[in-house]
Amino acid sequence: MRNFQEVVYMVPRKIYPPQDAFVQQANYTTEREVFDDLQFWEEQASRLDWFAPWDQVLEGEFPFVKWFVNGKINASYNCLDRHLMSWRKNKAALIFEGEPGDQKVMTYKDLHRETSKFANVLKELGVEKGDIVTIYLPVMTEAVVAMLACARIGAIHSLVFGGFAPHALAERIKDSQSKILLTADGYWRRGEVIRTKDKVDEALEECPSVETVVVVSRVANAIRMKRNRDHWYHELMNYADNHCEAEVMDSEDTLFIKYTSGATGKPKGVVHTTGGYLTGASSTHYSVLDIKEEDVYWCAGDIEWITGHSYTVYGPLSNGATVILYEGAPDFPQKDRIWEIIEKYGVSIFYTSPTAVRMFMKWGNKWFADHDISTLRLLGSVGETMNPEAWTWFYEEVGKGRCPIVDTWWQTETGSIMISPLPGMTSLKPGSVATPLPGIAAEVVDDEGRPVPRGRNGYLVIKKPWPSMIRNIYKDTQKFLDTYWSVFDGAFYTGDGAYVDEDGYYWISGRVDDVINVSGYRLGSAELESAVLMHPLASEAAAIGMNDKNKRSAVCIFVTLTEGASPSEALEQEIVERIVEEIGSFAKPERVYFTKNLPKTRGGKIMRRLLRDVAEGRELGDTSTLLDVTVIDELMIRGGK
């Protein structure tokens, strides 16, 4: 098979069956046999409050489908209003912990009031149903308020990751043509102020479409406020009315767009709808994350990540959960901050990433030795493959051998969890994401789209529509078709490689396309390459994701120089700088290789697979399609740490 690296896991593997204490209280316990997918999804949608019922569950076929046709619903109503009819109105919805140690609790009633007020502010500012609102906010309650306020009036939110450099922010604003941007003066990171508003000012020089900027004051640093364009959030909120009826939205109306990196240069705006998306996020948060009324739930990622959309905001709030928001760094003021927060609030469900787990493991057990983290009952992971060593540590040391780990596979495009253990039913295998959830038709296929035998690597595809699936790429249906539907007939192409073992368990081997996944941040090779090519001495560039033995992925750049230029450490630094400036420091390459030529196919396509072999120090794979074999011998290796 092309593109695939052999996956070697430790054998024999230990299997962890569900434990009685967990099973007895789990939301999903007995094997729920799903005879009919549509009936299953209909039941899941019925967990939500609808203003008007659908008259058909599913209409159309891949790639253009509609779920819960003609059903009327509002996401903000489902996350707020419906909880006000019970005692839940005074339950904590959000518990915010600032990095300096400040704390703010918002009940469902509070969140409902603030959301309604901000919805009125948006209306006052001229935002209408269908308009796009860009949200560039750090982790804070106002980010949740802003999302739910958009949803309330039918505006479409587009959250942009705070780690992006101004240019990357500008690209996303320009693509969406949004007229309004919400941001903050800054936020705290390792005791220092990150000056968010300065970045915005720089980005907006490129974005004439933005007429209004709303600024939340978090750190009260001196910032520039542009007259007639910039407004303080708290000033606008002062005068806002606190009543705002939730707009009646069609099930298929767009709830948000979320930009993500693809194989080609420009970031893609993944479009998600209201009814289907909310059904997926809410039902999986109930089944996989096993949410209960009394849980204290923490998904420790950024809100602007799809994980934050589905499992900090829409999933948990639609289920009436208490959600932790933490602003800052996990090692500030020292490396016990995460455990301190878990102890302080009695966190019971902790959903994080393999990168974070590996980091906690490296820091060591001593950091939680003095903290009572016994409230934990369920652990979760998302973003990349969890190596068995990290898994075992997380399970034994953090979970004390009591807490199941749900390793959840999904993507920005899938909207909600697709393949994962159900913690009350599934035996766990460290490193595996277990089996597709009810209603999800996953399969592993070969180059021709035929199912591969068990144990063999192939492409992970989804063969049947699911409610929270991507509906389009914003303003680019052609790209939508090319990216996901042109590889195999009648199946959604995930871009991941996987294999299924003898028990039907899925093992994800990583991206097989030109997307690089570094610590859960998704980067397109083309984005990185065009940043490198901004250096006047760079003539050609190839970016790849390189995996180490823990399956941790890092960015690696191969670059050829213009005539007469020669490699140097200074040049390497400058190239790294270009990437930091254009994309952000999270995209920093781990290695820069200078080479005289890049390996290409006769068709002129760069063979990134061979570069991956070089970077990972492997024997080269199949070179038969290589135009000039001598290129490989010439790869002169520089840099590297």
Question: What six digits make up the tokens of 59?
Answer: 């209409």
Tell me the closest approach of the beta carbon of residue 86 to ligand WT7, in angstroms.
31
3-state SS, one letter per residue, for 90-122: HCEEEEEECCCCCEEEEEHHHHHHHHHHHHHHH
CB of 107 or CB of 273, closer to ligand WT7: 273
CB of 206 or CB of 482, closer to ligand WT7: 482
User: Which residue is at the shortest CB distance from ligand WT7?
Assistant: 412
- Taking the alpha carbons at both ends of the chain, their separation in whole angstroms is 32
Q: Which of 178, 252, 274, 176 is nearest to 473 (CA)?
A: 176
CB of 186 or CB of 495, closer to ligand WT7: 495
CB of 166 or CB of 510, closer to ligand WT7: 510
- Tell how strand 591-594 and strand 553-561 pair up: parallel
CB of 315 or CB of 520, closer to ligand WT7: 520
Q: What angle do CA 503, 284, 406 make, to 5 degrees?
A: 50
Tell me the closest approach of the beta carbon of residue 411 to ligand WT7, in angstroms.
4
CB of 79 or CB of 434, closer to ligand WT7: 434
The secondary structure of residue 14, as a DSSP letter, is: P
Tell me the closest approach of the beta carbon of residue 562 to ligand WT7, in angstroms.
34
Task: Return d(Cα 140, Cα 223) in angstroms, integer.
Answer: 19
Q: Which helix (H) or strand (E) holds 449?
A: none
CB of 74 or CB of 525, closer to ligand WT7: 525
Tell me the closest approach of the beta carbon of residue 570 to ligand WT7, in angstroms.
33
CB of 274 or CB of 307, closer to ligand WT7: 307
626 beta partners: 601
Can you state the angle between helices 166-176 and 196-204, rounded to 10 degrees?
50
Tell me the closest approach of the beta carbon of residue 7 to ligand WT7, in angstroms.
11
Tell me the closest approach of the beta carbon of residue 509 to ligand WT7, in angstroms.
9
Tell me the closest approach of the beta carbon of residue 260 to ligand WT7, in angstroms.
5
How many alpha carbons lie under 13 Å from residue 384 in its C-beta half-sphere? 26
Tell me the closest approach of the beta carbon of residue 403 to ligand WT7, in angstroms.
17
- Please report, as ranges, the residues that interact with ligand WT7 according to CB under 6 A: 260, 306-307, 382-385, 407-412, 433, 494-496, 508, 510-511, 517, 520, 522
Tell me the closest approach of the beta carbon of residue 406 to ligand WT7, in angstroms.
9
CB of 74 or CB of 494, closer to ligand WT7: 494
**DSSP letter for each residue of 266-335:** S-EEEEEESHHHHHHHHHHHHHTS---TT-EEEE-S-TTSHHHIIIIIIHHHHTT-EEEEE-S-TTSSST
Tell me the chain's radius of gyration from C-alpha atoms: 24
Question: What six digits make up the tokens of 197?
Answer: 């508003």
**Amino acid identity, position 301:** G
